[in-house]
Amino acid sequence: MSANDWIVSLLAELSRLDAHVEQRAAPGLGPAQLITLPADDWGILGKEAARAGCRWVAGWGEDAGNDEVHISACFEKSGAYLLARTVVHRATPILLSHTPYFPGADRPERHTQDMFGVAFMDHPDARRWTRHQAWKDSEYPLRQDFPAAGHPPAQTPTDHDYKFFFAHGAGVYEIPVGPVHAGIIEPGHFRFQAMGEQVLNLEERLGYVHKGIEKIAEGRDPEGLARLAGRVSGDTTVAHAWAACLAMERAAGVEVPERALYLRALMCERERVANHLGDIGAILNDVAFTFGFYQFGRLREDWQRLSREAFGHRFMMDRVVPGGVAADLDAAQIPRMREQLPVFRRQLDKLMAIVNESPSVEDRLVTTGVLKPEYAKALGCLGYVGRASGVDLDVRRDAPYAPYDRLKITVPVYHYGDVAARARVRAEECRAAFELIEALLDGLPAGSIRAAWRAPAAGSEGLGLVEGWRGEILTYVRFGEGGGIARFFPRDPSWTTWPAIELLIHDNIVPDFPVCNKSVNGSYSGHDL
């Protein structure tokens, strides 16, 4: 059976239900097939896609002018992607919501509501999500008539009208945490209802570091967009820049040299290892296992120092560029990278053995913060969060892009869904990355590292899908006149994993929230576009 069979079946069912679906040619959209349908059929699409067992991947809007707003939603199953698009008019910007069928569509639809003024009927929660009182009710920042500089008030009004869920009952009390935290982290607000130390409910409020990144991308040249994409989430600079460049390259029909593809993957795997090592250490720090925190921090530092020596930057920022990469790997660095791998394998194995044999660590991590597999699937959780709860998805394997299409991809999957499982997935992904780095070094071809850029025609669009260290990154790009960017939409995996914290914390104790939160480690910046 073909991976696309579900798309054929879905389209047949939509036709049977008299939905007016039209298939469109879209070579720049990569692994995704494009369909268009009237706004009246949008709800039918969501219902039938859910029946087909699809995953709701992402949703976004675009002001097309002429009183039209284009709304897109992407679905996936078995590594095959379907991109659906409809049109609403400013006079009647109304669509049926997909959230009743896909809980993961909740916040993206609210983001589209805030940015474009589109109302999603039957959505269970119409509260503002992105704006935080910074714009008037009648202003929508991603419409064309809204200036990039905005209309900032002299002082942003206080944000006291957001109606958090409130639990009543004897012995129930509320704990507000943030948005400003004791640690040096970005702002996010967490509102708990607890009885004693048992958490009954948690509600998040994010958006405090909203950057207007979708707006300021408009008009940028390809190199400028690559730099911007690398700052969507600074800890994922390689993967986000790669996804943006892949989308632009597909739209422009630019073929990237083989050596550059291998170097991109090499940097992406090094980024994966660095972040996983840091996260394991941070998880151990939150349960007072200081030895583990320092040891994993030491490993991460050694790893990043070699990345700086090899590519000129600890995080390899601005090294992925349109058409290839900006930094080559000197031949003298290849043996050093090879020599590093067995050392890190041994040290990782030794440290994980110590962690797994520590009764105090086991007591704090095992059965703590359990995300049930059915919840992970419903939210579309990605990366180590999804894999720790049974979601077996990896773009490198399931919708492969070069050079991963010629490499063996190992995807660790657990079903326990607790903090311990999320830590173990990270460790196993490090081991798998070591194998990939070795294979990439073995197969590293000679040749150029960057292809000449050619500006695509206005209206050309592209889709980039890259497996970052947090999971699948989706980036959509449309070009405007003169080769500049008309629309840029990056979906970080954190959009799918932040909501998971509200579920996995239930029936845990308040002191376990920090380690539960760290085990998910959603990106504030990647979420707050």
The structural domain count of the chain equals 3
Which residues touch 107 (CB under 8 Å, ≥6 apart)?
Answer: 129, 495, 498, 499
Confirm whether 133 is domain-assigned: no
Same domain for 258 and 381? yes
Q: Which of 83, 103, 121 is the last residue of a domain?
A: 121
DSSP β-bridge partners for residue 320:
325
- The rounded distance, in Å, linking the Cα atoms of 524 and 526 is 6
pLDDT at 280: 97
- Residue 148 domain flag: no
Residue 268 belongs to a domain = yes
Euclidean distance between CA atoms 165 and 175, whole angstroms: 12
CA 36/CA 24 separation, integer angstroms? 7
pLDDT of residue 424: 97
Asked if residue 104 lies in contact with residue 375, where contact means CB atoms within 8 angstroms, the answer is no
Check if the beta carbon of residue 469 is closer than 8 Å to that of residue 303. Answer: no
- Residue 337: inside a domain: yes
Answer whether 0.85 is exceeded by the pTM. Answer: yes
DSSP at 132: T
Which residue type is seen at 198? Q
Residues 64-83 as b/e (b if ≥16 CB within 10 A, e otherwise) read: eeeeebbbbbbbbbbbbbbb
- Tell me: do 280 and 180 sit in the same domain: no
Token pair of 456 as six digits: 């695509």
pLDDT tens digits for 102-125? 999 999 999 999 999 999 999 999
**Is the residue at 329 inside a domain?**
yes
11 with 62, same domain: the answer is yes
Kindly give the parts of the chain with pLDDT less than 70: 1, 152-154, 156-159
pLDDT at 146: 82
What SS3 state is found at 439?
A: helix
End-to-end CA distance of the chain: give it in Å, rounded: 39
The tokens of 65 are what?
């002018």
User: Same domain for 217 and 197?
Assistant: no
- CA–CA gap between residue 266 and residue 260 (Å, rounded): 10
Q: Are residues 68 and 106 in the same domain?
A: yes
What domain range includes position 521?
Answer: 213-527
Domain boundary among 161, 181, 205: 205
Question: So what's the pLDDT on residue 144?
Answer: 86
Residues 392, 247 share a domain? yes
CA angle (497 as vertex; 94, 291 as ends), nearest 5? 160
- Same structural domain, 399 and 269: yes
User: Residue 492: which CATH number?
Assistant: 1.10.645.10
Across the chain, how many H-helices and E-strands are there? Answer: 17, 15
The reply to whether 221 and 326 lie within a common domain is: yes
Output b/e per residue, 115-131; b: 16+ Cβ within 10 A. bbbbbbeebeeeebbbb
- For residue 34, which of 52, 21, 19, 50 has the smallest C-alpha distance? 21
Side-chain-facing half-sphere of 191: CA atoms under 13 Å = 10
Chosen domain end from 184, 205, 226: 205
Note the pLDDT of residue 1: 60
According to the model, what pLDDT value does residue 307 have? 96
User: Does residue 67 sit in the same domain as residue 184?
Assistant: no
Q: Which amino acid is at 257?
A: P
Domain shared by 267 and 403, yes or no: yes
SS3 content of the chain, % helix, strand, coil (to 5): 45, 20, 40
- CB-count burial class (<10 Å; 0-12, 13-18, 19+) for 90: middle
CA dihedral 83, 86, 90, 95 (to 10 degrees): -90
Rounded to a whole number of angstroms, the CA Rg of the chain reads 23
194 with 272, same domain? no
User: Beta-strand (E) ranges in 142-242?
Assistant: 172-177, 189-195, 198-205
Q: Are residues 249 and 228 in the same domain?
A: yes
In a domain, 162, yes or no: no
Does 404 map to a domain?
Answer: yes
Q: Could you say which DSSP state residue 490 is in?
A: E
Domain assignment of residue 150, yes or no = no
Report pLDDT digits (tens) over 329-358: 999 999 999 999 999 999 999 999 999 999
